[in-house]
Structure formats: C-alpha cells, structure tokens
Amino acid sequence: MNVLVVAQYFPPDIGGAATRAYNLAKGLSLNGCSVAVIAGFPHYPHGNIPAEYRWKPFKVEWMGNMRVIRTFMPPIKSVGFFRRLVLMGVFAVSALFALPFVGKVDAVWASSWVPGYVYSKAKRCPLALNVDDLTLEDLVDLELLDENAFVLRIAKRVYRHFLCKGDVVTPISLGYFEILEKTYLVQPSRIHLVRGGVDLSVFKPNVSKREPEKKFVVLYSGGFSVAYDFDAVFKAAKIVEAIDDDVEFVVQGAGELLSSMRSSVSKLNVKNVKIVNKILSRADVAELLSQADVLILSLVEFDKPYRGMSSKLYEYQAVGKPIISCSRGLPSVYVKETNSGLVVYPGDAEALAKAVLELKENPAVARVMGESGRKYVENEASIEAVGLRMKKIFETPLPTSA
C-alpha cells in the first residue's frame, strides 16, 4: 500500500503534531507500506528556516526509507493566532508544489486538511483526517476567544465542512469523540481512535546506574506554549528548594513563553531551575528523558477537564520513569489507569512539590511506576501498533465521504 502523509509539522519541528505525523508515517512504513510525506520546511516554533531550504520551492530528502518532500514555508515565528493562520495558509498552497512528485497513492493521511483533501481527490483515494487537538474548543477553554465570537462560528463551519469530507477521522483521544459527533457532525462510523504512539527503538530506559553525586532531576521536555503552566512548576521548585537542595528542575524546549518563563524564574529568585532553550533531535530528547528521575506534564487549568492526550506521555512512559501529571482530565486519568505516576491538580504548586519529594523519598515506588508505564506502551502504544491499526483502517471498506 502506498500512503501519502500530509503534515505541515514534521521533525525536526518540535511539538505533538510533528511527533504524531512522524510516528504514524514510520509505523506505516514498519508495517510494509510505502510512505511519502509532504511537510513544510522546518520552521516550528522559531521561524528560522535552515540554510539548505532557503530560496527553494521544495526539497526532496529521505528519512530512513520514507521519502519526504519539504515545501516552502516563510521565516515567520509561530506566535499568536494570526501568524499561525498565515503559516497554515502558506502550507496549504505550497504543499501542492509536490503534486508532480508524489507518484502512486492508495490512501492519504492528513493533519493538514486542505492539501490532504486536494491530494485525495487528485489521486482518487481514501482520506483520513487527523485530529491532534480541538483547537477551537481549546481557545475558548483557555479564555483566548469568546465562545460567541463571530470568527469562532465561521471557523467551526469550516472545520465541519472539511471533517465531513474525510472518509475517516482519526483523533488521538477518546475525549474528542463527542465533540466530533455533536459539534462537527462526523458520523460515528467514520471516527477511529489512533494513538499518538512512541518509537520504542529510540525512547527506552537508560540501564546505567545513577551517579551518587548527581542531583535528583525533575524534567519537562517540549514546547513552551500557552497550554502549559510553567509558573506552577517554578513555584513548586521554590518550595522544594527550601526543603531539599538535592533536587533540580529542568525545562527544555522552545516556544513563545520563553521570555515570561525566564522572568518568572528571576522574580521568584529560584536557584534550582534550569531552562534549556534548545531544540533537540528525537534521539537527544530520548537520552535527556532517560537521564531524569521524574518527568512532568504541567497543563494549565482549562475551563473544562482536558480532553486531549499529550504525545509526550507515551515518550515519558517509554523511558521507564515516573510521571507527575498536573492536569484535570484525560492525561491524569491515563496516568492513574496505567499506574505510571502521580496526579496533582493543575496550578497546585504545593501538591506538585509534595509529589516530587514523595517520589524522591520512595525510589522503589518510583521504579514500579516507571516499569508499569514502559510495559503499557510496549503492549498498546508502539509505533508498530499504531501503524498497523492505521493500515487496517485503510484496508477496510470505508464509508463514502461527502
């Protein structure tokens, strides 16, 4: 089967969308599919286009046995709604530059819906529309947009139009099903859960023993975006600092909140926090995660319980380390059900500090949680399993799209 993956974000871009597209593409490839990818020039979140892509309409390269056709993206930093909209629009057009080069296509999987739809019609093949998050609902929950705003009503109509065009819709979370059915009128028979997944050959436990002089490291790795509550992490670090000076909080990644994060650390005068403003390769991220003692997911308090599933949870589990989930919703339910960590209410710095110290003081409990998480992703969320599920969906007779 020849599968075309259309995704604006693709490694070395960071973030859940890029990780999701890569894991799905590689998972399909590992299950015998011939995979071609159309993705934007590396651009997220910094907007710095690498020199080898500049002044070119597209560039063809290989990642393993996957052919990746990179198409033009402007050097715009992904900050704010308007700039993101511009980047999305540019990719919707530039992705079509690859049309003469994609070859035979039996199915299209698209996280970028407009070009994905065009390619499915041009190639007369089934279309799977991916849903990484409920962007419009999240904007309302984060109080970035009023639920009655005119622009929101228009955007929902556009989303509904495209989602109903997909032969299947592949959300990463069960928490999205009700919204897809009731708000966007997607037929239940078209909705298929396909997890974000994790590459277990890259993300794996570090078998080396902890050095005696090494500090106890609490780590976040990923985007510095408005969905995450870093202030709570820094306040928790301040509390821990007064109790145990052997703990270090490390926050690694890049994004629009960098300046405010640095300001918060400075105002709190907290000494046990290290902000690493650096985008790492997947292998380097895996190594960094495996060297930490506790991994943290600190979401802001959404207006409603969080419906999504962060792809980093699978990566956290894969390296065999305990997780502290600061969220109200599906991520915390997942961590509890897989017995892979502790759960605290979002924004509760005191509870977060207590959880960190609890795991530090109980290494046997932390080890069991790490092992439980690793076992779960081995059985349920490897990219091989994700790719096989997507392949079977494409091989099953699909409802005719609108």
Amino acid at position 142, single letter: L
What gap in Å lies between CA 26 and CA 386, rounded to an integer? Answer: 10
Say what the pLDDT of residue 151 is.
Answer: 76
Say what the pLDDT of residue 287 is.
Answer: 94
More confident position, 14 or 356: 356
What gap in Å lies between CA 90 and CA 349, rounded to an integer? Answer: 41
Set out the domains of the chain in order of their start, with CATH numbers.
Answer: 2-197+382-395 (3.40.50.2000), 216-380 (3.40.50.2000)
Condensed to tens digits (0 to 9), the pLDDT of residues 237-267 reads: 999 999 999 999 999 998 889 999 999 999 9
Say what the pLDDT of residue 134 is.
Answer: 77
Cα distances (Å, whole numbers) of residue 334 to 261, 317, 338, 372: 28, 11, 6, 12
| pLDDT classification of 42: cutoffs 50, 70, 90 | very high
What gap in Å lies between CA 40 and CA 68, rounded to an integer? Answer: 10
Q: What SS3 string covers the chain? A: CEEEEEECCCCCCCCHHHHHHHHHHHHHHHCCCEEEEEEECCCCCCCCCCHHHCCCCEEEEEECCEEEEEECCCCCCCCHHHHHHHHHHHHHHHHHHHHHHCCCCCEEEECCHHHHHHHHHHHCCCEEEEECCCHHHHHHHCCCCCCCCHHHHHHHHHHHHHHCCCCEEEECCHHHHHHHHHCCCCCHHHECCCCCCECCCCCCCCCCCCCCCCCEEEEEEEECCCCECHHHHHHHHHHHHHHCCCEEEEEEEECCCHHHHHHHHHHHCCCCEEEEECCCCHHHHHHHHHHCCEEEEEECCCCCCECCCCCHHHHHHHCCCCEEEECCEHHHHHHHHCCCEEEECCCCHHHHHHHHHHHHHCHHHHHHHHHHHHHHHHHHCEHHHHHHHHHHHHHCCCCCCC
Residue 343 has φ and ψ, to the nearest 5°, of -125, 135
Q: Roughly what angle, to the nearest 10 degrees, separates helices 16-30 and 383-395?
A: 70
Q: Count CA atoms within 13 Å of residue 347 on its CB side.
A: 5
What gap in Å lies between CA 263 and CA 256, rounded to an integer? Answer: 13
What gap in Å lies between CA 114 and CA 91, rounded to an integer? Answer: 9
Say what the pLDDT of residue 213 is.
Answer: 65
Cα distances (Å, whole numbers) of residue 335 to 12, 79, 138, 285, 344: 28, 30, 21, 21, 11
Per cent of the chain over pLDDT 90 is: 70
Mean pLDDT of 196-222: 84
Q: What tokens were used for 383?
A: 């990219």
pLDDT at 382 over 70: yes
More confident position, 151 or 358: 358
pTM: 0.83
| pLDDT classification of 384: cutoffs 50, 70, 90 | very high
Residue 23, phi-psi category: left (phi > 0), alpha (psi -120 to 50), beta (remainder): alpha
What gap in Å lies between CA 345 and CA 397, rounded to an integer? Answer: 44
The mean of the pLDDT values for the chain is 90
Q: What tokens were used for 206?
A: 């570090």
What gap in Å lies between CA 298 and CA 250, rounded to an integer? Answer: 13
Pairing of strands 66-71, 58-63: antiparallel
Mean pLDDT of 18-45: 94
Mean pLDDT of 94-117: 94
What is the C-alpha radius of gyration for the chain, rounded to an integer number of angstroms? 21
More confident position, 218 or 148: 218
Say what the pLDDT of residue 281 is.
Answer: 87
Say what the pLDDT of residue 161 is.
Answer: 85
Of residues 210, 262, 268, the one with CA closest to residue 237:
268
Condensed to tens digits (0 to 9), the pLDDT of residues 300-325 reads: 887 677 788 888 999 999 999 999 99
Cβ-Cβ contacts under 8 Å for 127 (sequence gap 6 or more): 107, 108, 110, 116, 117, 120, 165, 166, 167, 168, 401
Mean pLDDT of 202-207: 86
Q: What tokens were used for 377?
A: 């992703």
| pLDDT classification of 159: cutoffs 50, 70, 90 | confident
Condensed to tens digits (0 to 9), the pLDDT of residues 131-146 reads: 988 777 767 666 666 7
254 neighbors 278 (Cβ within 8 angstroms): yes
Of residues 399, 245, 373, the one with CA closest to residue 312:
373
